[in-house]
């Protein structure tokens, strides 16, 4: 059995996230267990472990709950209890899966007091499936408890969130990870100094699971567990020489920086880890320049560090959808190294000048069509050509956003705020999601040359014009107006 499973928390007191431990302790002490929980937080922070602990508490046969000795507790620990059902919403995300679940919850527990449904990554459910689950959450049978877990609570529909008791599992601190590692160290009778555990904690990215995996690999490979040996094993100081790469960025040595990224990637280090390590270093420098802690990059000024954070944050967000994992990072490196020293604030290429479109002159036999006006603000304008450029720029980054924008049009722009008129409520809600909004605002800001906040509002779609009547193509889209079902299929297909 792996260390993580062998030494995962078995009681509420053993949960390592302090706030989650205290919240659950108060709820259990009240003897009023909610019928539905939402455990939200990053991966590896103990959400599933906490869910199993709750399942044991409501079903334990002993007065001391959980006793971890009775049939109910031991079967839950082994994952063999037929009344505690764990589902992965990523592979059971459709409405038919939820309908089957709704039928199953009506049945009484086989042996336990309560049937407990633990649904992991619940935000992966489709909208229809989420609404179907909502009905069960609103009127659950007395013998059922739902525990929903997610790494992206903002993607879960508000009505589902409002029907649950939310327990937040934030990213673990170094001290909390050391606390967790100490259980495995004690159980395996390992001799590890505190400095070594701190090194592992720093490399875990706030994940208990990742920290324990590092410790287990060190043990399996029979490596020395002193601080120096552990430090050499970890990617920060061995596989990834962050300072060397940053020095190449400071020198704006494009070729050498790209070669270094290739070397690091070739050694099996994930681009996500590399991007995160760079951003951690840039953040430390920014805080130091603002008088918080020490500045680790004194060769760069504040504007440079801000530009690097924006560039590499964008690259990190684009990595998961990239066909070539390291391409967004490489683009960020090229943009940084090749950017003009005279324009340190510009982190994207400026759009090319778009010549004004000349309308055809009217003939005596027919009148001129009404002139097409661009949306003007106090600073900039959103013309048809610029709107097309926005669509073309966002498409390779996220095709779902581009599909959504084809059911929208620019309404107002005052140089700071771009108001989009969106034809359907579903599209508006999707565009307003955190990640979608951030990507869109980054794209528009890069094109317009200034920070832009995007605001969405519902508006009527344009009336379709008969084919016989001459028409100007709309500012909205690159082609004909798409049917909502087709657009939805494009979104969910990506």
Confidence of residue 492 (pLDDT cuts 50, 70, 90): low
Higher pLDDT, 381 or 1: 1
Instruction: For the full predicted model, state whether its pTM sits above 0.75.
Output: no
Task: Give bridge partners of residue 457 from the DSSP assignment.
Answer: 421
pLDDT at 217 over 80: yes
pLDDT at 367 over 90: no
Give pLDDT, residue 87. Answer: 94
Measured CA to CA, the distance from residue 428 to residue 226 in angstroms comes to 54
Task: Quote the percentage of the chain above a pLDDT of 70.
Answer: 83
Confidence of residue 237 (pLDDT cuts 50, 70, 90): very low
pLDDT tens column, 425-474 = 888 888 888 778 888 888 888 888 788 889 998 888 876 544 444 444 43
In terms of CATH architecture, what is 242-338? Answer: Up-down Bundle (1.20)
Question: What long-range pairs does 100-106 form, CB within 8 A, spacing at least 24?
Answer: 101/133, 101/136, 102/132, 102/133, 102/135, 102/136, 105/136, 105/140, 105/141, 105/144, 106/141
Give pLDDT, residue 380. Answer: 55
Residue range 363-381: mean pLDDT, rounded? 42
Residue range 185-196: mean pLDDT, rounded? 94
10 Å CB burial of residue 250 (0-12, 13-18, 19+) is middle
Residue range 481-491: mean pLDDT, rounded? 52
Residue range 78-98: mean pLDDT, rounded? 93
Among 309, 295, 205, which residue's Cα sits nearest to residue 249?
Answer: 309
- Ranking 63-77, 125-139, 468-482 by mean pLDDT, the lowest is 468-482
Measured CA to CA, the distance from residue 209 to residue 42 in angstroms comes to 11
Sign of CA dihedral 176, 182, 184, 185: positive
Measured CA to CA, the distance from residue 127 to residue 137 in angstroms comes to 15
Residue range 34-42: mean pLDDT, rounded? 95
- Rg of the chain on CA atoms, in Å: 27
pLDDT at 312 over 90: yes
Residue range 344-365: mean pLDDT, rounded? 41
pLDDT at 111 over 60: yes
Average pLDDT, the chain: 83
In terms of CATH architecture, what is 3-168? Answer: 3-Layer(aba) Sandwich (3.40)
Strands 84-88 and 165-168: unpaired
What's the topology of domain 375-492? Answer: GMP Synthetase; Chain A, domain 3 (3.30.300)
Give pLDDT, residue 241. Answer: 67
10 Å CB burial of residue 368 (0-12, 13-18, 19+) is exposed
Residue range 254-268: mean pLDDT, rounded? 85
Give pLDDT, residue 329. Answer: 94
Give pLDDT, residue 485. Answer: 53
Crossing angle of helices 194-203/174-187, nearest 10°?
Answer: 120
pLDDT at 350 over 60: no
CATH code that applies to domain 174-233: 1.10.8
pLDDT at 404 over 80: yes
- Ranking 1-5, 245-249, 377-381 by mean pLDDT, the lowest is 377-381
Residue ranges per structural domain of the chain: 3-168, 174-233, 242-338, 375-492
Give pLDDT, residue 371. Answer: 35
pLDDT at 6 over 50: yes
Give pLDDT, residue 114. Answer: 96
Measured CA to CA, the distance from residue 311 to residue 301 in angstroms comes to 16
Give pLDDT, residue 36. Answer: 96
Residue range 275-285: mean pLDDT, rounded? 90
- Most confident of the following: 75-79, 135-139, 362-366, 448-452: 75-79
Give pLDDT, residue 487. Answer: 57
pLDDT tens column, 45-63 = 999 999 999 999 999 999 8
Give pLDDT, residue 107. Answer: 94
- Ranking 52-56, 301-305, 318-322, 324-328 by mean pLDDT, the lowest is 318-322
Give pLDDT, residue 449. Answer: 77
pLDDT tens column, 134-171 = 989 988 899 999 999 999 898 899 999 999 999 999 99
- Ranking 121-125, 281-285, 322-326 by mean pLDDT, the lowest is 322-326
Residue range 209-215: mean pLDDT, rounded? 93
Higher pLDDT, 249 or 378: 249
pLDDT at 215 over 60: yes
Measured CA to CA, the distance from residue 233 to residue 75 in angstroms comes to 37
């Amino acid at each position: 059995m792996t260390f993580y499973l062998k030494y995962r928390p078995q009681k509420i007191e053993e949960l390592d996230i302090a706030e989650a431990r205290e919240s659950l302790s108060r709820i259990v002490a009240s003897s009023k267990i909610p019928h539905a929980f939402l455990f939200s937080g990053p991966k590896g922070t103990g959400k599933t472990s906490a869910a199993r602990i709750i399942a044991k508490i409501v079903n334990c046969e002993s007065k001391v709950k959980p006793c971890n000795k009775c049939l109910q507790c031991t079967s839950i620990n082994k994952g063999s209890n037929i009344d505690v059902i764990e589902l992965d919403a990523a592979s059971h995300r459709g409405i038919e899966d939820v309908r089957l679940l709704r039928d199953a919850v009506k049945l009484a527990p086989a042996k336990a007091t309560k049937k407990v449904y633990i649904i992991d990554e619940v935000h992966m459910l489709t909208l229809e499936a989420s609404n179907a689950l909502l009905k069960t959450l609103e009127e659950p049978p007395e013998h059922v408890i739902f525990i929903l877990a997610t790494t992206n609570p903002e993607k879960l529909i508000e009505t589902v969130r409002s029907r649950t008791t939310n327990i937040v599992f934030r990213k673990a601190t170094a001290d909390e990870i050391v606390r967790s590692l100490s259980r495995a160290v004690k159980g395996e009778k390992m001799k590890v100094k505190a400095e070594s555990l701190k090194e592992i904690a720093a490399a875990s990215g706030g994940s208990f699971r990742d920290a324990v995996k590092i410790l287990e690999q060190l043990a399996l490979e029979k490596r020395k567990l002193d601080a120096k040996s552990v430090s050499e094993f970890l990617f920060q100081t061995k596989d990834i020489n962050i300072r060397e790469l940053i020095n190449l960025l400071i020198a704006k040595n494009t070729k050498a920086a790209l070669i270094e990224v290739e070397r690091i990637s070739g050694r099996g280090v994930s681009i996500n880890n590399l991007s995160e390590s760079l951003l951690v270093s840039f953040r430390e420098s920014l805080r130091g320049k603002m008088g918080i802690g020490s500045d680790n990059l004194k060769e760069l000024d504040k504007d440079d560090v801000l530009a690097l954070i924006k560039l590499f944050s964008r690259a990190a967000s684009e990595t998961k959808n990239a066909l070539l994992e390291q391409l967004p990072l490489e683009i960020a490196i090229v943009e940084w190294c090749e950017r003009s020293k005279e324009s340190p604030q510009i982190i994207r290429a400026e759009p090319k000048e778009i010549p004004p479109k000349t309308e055809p002159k009217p003939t005596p036999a027919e009148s001129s069509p009404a002139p097409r006006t661009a949306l003007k603000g106090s600073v900039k304008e959103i013309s048809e050509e610029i709107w097309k450029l926005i669509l073309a720029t966002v498409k390779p980054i996220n095709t779902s956003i581009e599909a959504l924008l084809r059911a929208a049009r620019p309404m107002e722009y005052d140089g700071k705020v771009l108001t989009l008129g969106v034809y359907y409520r579903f599209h508006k809600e999707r565009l307003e999601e955190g990640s979608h909004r951030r990507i869109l605002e980054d794209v528009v800001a890069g094109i317009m040359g200034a920070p832009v906040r995007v605001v969405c509002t519902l508006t009527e779609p344009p009336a379709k014009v008969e084919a016989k009547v001459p028409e100007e193509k709309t500012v909205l889209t690159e082609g004909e107006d798409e049917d909502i079902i087709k657009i939805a299929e494009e979104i969910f297909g990506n």
